[in-house]
Amino acid sequence: MSADLQRPLLEALKSDVLVIDGAMGTQLYERGILYSACFEELNVSRPEVVSRVHEDYVRAGATLIETNTFGANALRLEKHGLSHRVAELNLAGVKLARAAAAGKAYVAGAIGPSGYFLGDASQDDLDKVGAALREQAEALIEAGVDALVIETMRQPAELRVAIRIARAVATSGLPIVAQVSVDEHGRMADGTSSFDIASEMRDLGADVVGVNCSDGPMNVLSAVEAMLKAGLPVSAVPNAGLPRRVDERLVYVSTPEYFGVYARRMFKLGVRLVGGCCGTTPEHTKRIAAAARMAGASETEEPAAGEPRERADSADIVSISLPSSPMPMAQRSDLGAKLARKRFVVSVEVNPPIGLDLTRAVAAAKMLRDGGVDVINIADGARAQARMGNVAMAARVQRELGMETILHVCGRDRNLLASLAHLLAAHEFGARNLVVITGDPPKMGDFPDATPVYDLDSIGLLKLASRLNHGIDPAGKPLGSHTSFVLATGAEPAALNYPRELARLRQKKSAGAEVLMTQPVYDPAVLERFLDDVAPLGLPVLVGLLPLASYRNAEFLHNEVPGMQVPESVRERMRKAGTGAAARKEGVAIAREMLGAVRHRVAGAYIMPPLERYELALEVVDGFLDRD
C-alpha cells in the first residue's frame, strides 16, 4: 500500500502505511562530514550534501522524510556557538526537505532531545527546556512541515514538556508524532513501560506514538506491539543493529535484508509507519518500502542462509602488503607460550570499578592468581559506563601481582588515531594480550548523549593491531620496531545469524585474529556444532562460561540477550535449585558440565563470574587446571 500524498497525513494513515526515511547523521559522515561538525548547520553551509541524502531516501521509497533538524534547538546548538540561529537552521532544513520530497513524500519536522539532563528537574530546568523546544517547534511550523516528530526521548519529564509544547504551538491541528527510545526491556529511563508511556503520550495530545533508535528491529518490534494497545497509529524506527550483541558493530549490524524481514513483521502487526534510525541507509529504506508494498504478505520468510555480507566500514584500514612475519606467538607473552604448547589456560574477567578505587579488583585478581588462573580479562568501558581505563588496571595488576592480563580493546570511544595511540601505550605499559571487539554503544549505558566513534569495528581493529605486530602503522610506514600482541577476538556460538557469524570469523582470522573467545554457552550441542565449524580456521578456542546465579538470571539470558541460548532443561534445573547459595551451586555445576563436555576440544576457558562473585570461577575450573 502507498499513501495518497494529496491527503493530510493522519487521513492517509487510516488506510495506508508510510515509509519513514533512514539515518541522516551516519549518511553525512559517510559523505565526508566529521562527527564533530554541527549537522544542522549544514542546512546553510553545505545544503547540497543534505539535499542528496534526502533525495536518496526519496528515490529508495521513503514516503515521509524528516528534516535535518534533530539537534536544532538552542540548548544543543549552544555548544557550537549557534544558539542564535535556531530559526534560520530550522527554516533551511524544511526548505531542503520540501524540495527533495518533490511531492513524493510528506515532510516532518524533527525535534530531538534538548541535551539537558532532567534527572531531578526543577521548574526552572523544565522551563528552560520548554523554551528551547518551543522556539524550534514554532520555526518548523512556520516553515510549513506536514507534521512534527518528537523523537529519541529517554526522559519522561522531557517527553512531557515536548508534547505539551508541540500541542500548544500546533494550533492548526498539525499532527504530532511522539517517539521514545527504550532499553532492552522496553522501558524508559525511569522504568516506565512501553504501553504506559504510549498511553501517556496519547493523553498529552500525540497523534501517533512509537519507538525509534533503541536496540534494533527485534527490541523495537516487541516495544511497539505493546504500544498498539494504546489505540493510536504506531511508528517503529529502529537502529540498524542489536546493541545487546557483544562482538560486532552493535549499532549498525543489521543488513537491509534482515531489516526487511522485521519491517514486514511490523506492518503485519499493525504498525502504520516504519523507518530506520542510526546506521540505516537508503538500502534499508528500499527493503522497508518493499515490505510496505507487501504489507499483507506472510511473515514466515527469513533471511537466506547465504545472505550477502554487509559492506565493510568506510573507515576501515586499507589493504597493505605486510613485510616480514611478526614474532612467533609463543614469544610474545606467557599466554601465547602456553597456548603454543597446548597447555589448558584459564582467563577470568575482572573489570575496572566505576570510580577510582582499584583495591577490590586487584584483590580479586590476586585471589584468582593464587587459585591457579593464568590471566585476567579486563573490559574496555564495559556496558558503556564510567569506568577507569583498563590499561591502568592492567599495569597495576601486572606490576603488583606479576600476573598477565588480556585487555579488551573496542572501537566505540576512539577514532583511528586514538586507537593507534591506545595500542602503542598499552604495549609500552606491558600489555601483550588483546581481545578485540567493537564495543557497546553509549546509548546502552549511563551517558546516552556521549558520541560514539566507531572509526573501526573489530575487524578494522584487528588489522590495525596486526600491522603493529608487523612493525608498520596504518599507512604502511615503518614504526622502527614492532609490537608483540597476542590477538584474540570474540565469537557467538549461538548467534541468531549463525552463517554470518562464521563468515565474520573467517574475516577476523584474515585480519589477524589468533585466538577465539566465545560468548557463554549452555547447550553442548550448540558448542559442539560451533567447534566443528570453526575447526578449519585452526585457531585455539577459549570457551566462555558464565555460571548462572539464579533462575531469573537464566530466563533473562535466554529471552533477552541475542546470541545466548539457555536450554529449557537448564532453566528448569535453576528453577528447582531455588535462590541464594543453592542456586549458585547449581549454576557452577552446569558450567562444570559444559566445560567437561568439551575440555578435550578447547584450548582453555574464559570465565565471566556473575555479580563479581569471583570465587565461583575457581569452583568452575577446579580439577580442570593444568599445573606446570
Residue type, 293: R
Looking at 269, 293, 317, the residue that finishes a domain is: 293
Quote the number of domains for the chain: 2
Residue 3: its pLDDT value, please? Answer: 56
Contacts for 510 with CB less than 8 Å, ≥ 6 apart: none
Residue pair 141/169 in contact by the 8 Å Cβ criterion: yes
Residues 24 and 90 in one domain: yes
Residues 13 and 82 in one domain: yes
Residue range 167-203, pLDDT digits in tens: 999 988 899 999 999 988 889 988 899 999 999 999 9
- pTM of this structure: 0.54
Contacts for 117 with CB less than 8 Å, ≥ 6 apart: 155
| Residue 556 placed within a domain | no
DSSP string, 509-538: HHHT--EEEEEE---HHHHHHHHHHHGGGT
| Residue 207 placed within a domain | yes
Residue 314: its pLDDT value, please? Answer: 33
| Residue 256 placed within a domain | yes
Residue 200 has which C-alpha cell? 501517556
Residues 256 and 338 in one domain: no
Residues 194 and 338 in one domain: no
HEC letters along 336-403: HHHHHCCCCEEEEECCCCECCCCHHHHHHHHHHHHCCCCEEEECCCHHHCCECCHHHHHHHHHHHHCC
Residues 233 and 341 in one domain: no
Mapping DSSP to helix (H, G, I), strand (E, B) and coil, where does residue 64 land?
strand
Residues 68 and 215 in one domain: yes
Residue 383: its pLDDT value, please? Answer: 55
| Residue 307 placed within a domain | no
Residue 414 has which C-alpha cell? 576512539
Residue type, 617: A
Residue 217: its pLDDT value, please? Answer: 85
Residues 262 and 355 in one domain: no
Nearest to 251 by CA among 389, 393, 410: 410
Q: What angle do CA 240, 246, 248 make, to 5 degrees?
A: 50
| Residue 267 placed within a domain | yes
Nearest to 593 by CA among 493, 522, 496, 501: 522
Residues 277 and 365 in one domain: no
Sites in the chain below the pLDDT cut of 70: 1-4, 117-121, 215, 241-254, 295-324, 381-386, 439-454, 559-563, 626-628
What is the spatial distance between Cα 396 and Cα 520, in angstroms, rounded to a whole number?
A: 28
Residues 377 and 276 in one domain: no
DSSP 324: S
| Residue 463 placed within a domain | yes
HEC letters along 434-475: EEECCCCCHHHCCCCCCCCCCCCCHHHHHHHHHHHHCCECCC
Residue pair 378/337 in contact by the 8 Å Cβ criterion: no
Count, residues in the chain: 628
Residues 84 and 200 in one domain: yes
Give the range of the structural domain holding residue 428, as residue numbers without chain letter: 331-546+603-617
What is the spatial distance between Cα 231 and Cα 233, in angstroms, rounded to a whole number?
A: 7
Nearest to 25 by CA among 16, 38, 15, 13: 38
Residues 279 and 336 in one domain: no
Residue 367: its pLDDT value, please? Answer: 93
| Residue 59 placed within a domain | yes
Q: What is the CATH number of the domain that holds 156?
A: 3.20.20.330
Residue pair 273/248 in contact by the 8 Å Cβ criterion: no
Annotate 265-295 with b (16+ C-beta within 10 A) or e (fewer).
bbbeeebbbbbbbbbbbbbbbbbbbbbbebb
Residue 452: its pLDDT value, please? Answer: 60
Residues 454 and 358 in one domain: yes
Residue range 8-59, pLDDT digits in tens: 999 999 888 999 999 998 899 888 888 788 999 999 999 999 999 999 999 9
Nearest to 13 by CA among 142, 160, 154, 147: 147
Give the burial class of 385: count Cβ atoms within 10 A of its Cβ; 0-12 exposed, 13-18 middle, 19 or more buried: middle
Nearest to 455 by CA among 30, 50, 68: 30
* Residue owning grid cell 575482572: 350
| Residue 558 placed within a domain | no
Looking at 242, 276, 293, the residue that finishes a domain is: 293
Give the burial class of 44: count Cβ atoms within 10 A of its Cβ; 0-12 exposed, 13-18 middle, 19 or more buried: middle
* Residue owning grid cell 534533530: 70
* Residue owning grid cell 541522516: 24
Contacts for 151 with CB less than 8 Å, ≥ 6 apart: 70, 110, 111, 112, 177, 179, 181, 212, 213, 237
Kindly report the number of other CB atoms within 10 A of residue 102's CB atom: 10
Q: What is the CATH number of the domain that holds 468?
A: 3.20.20.220
Nearest to 243 by CA among 448, 389, 390, 34: 448
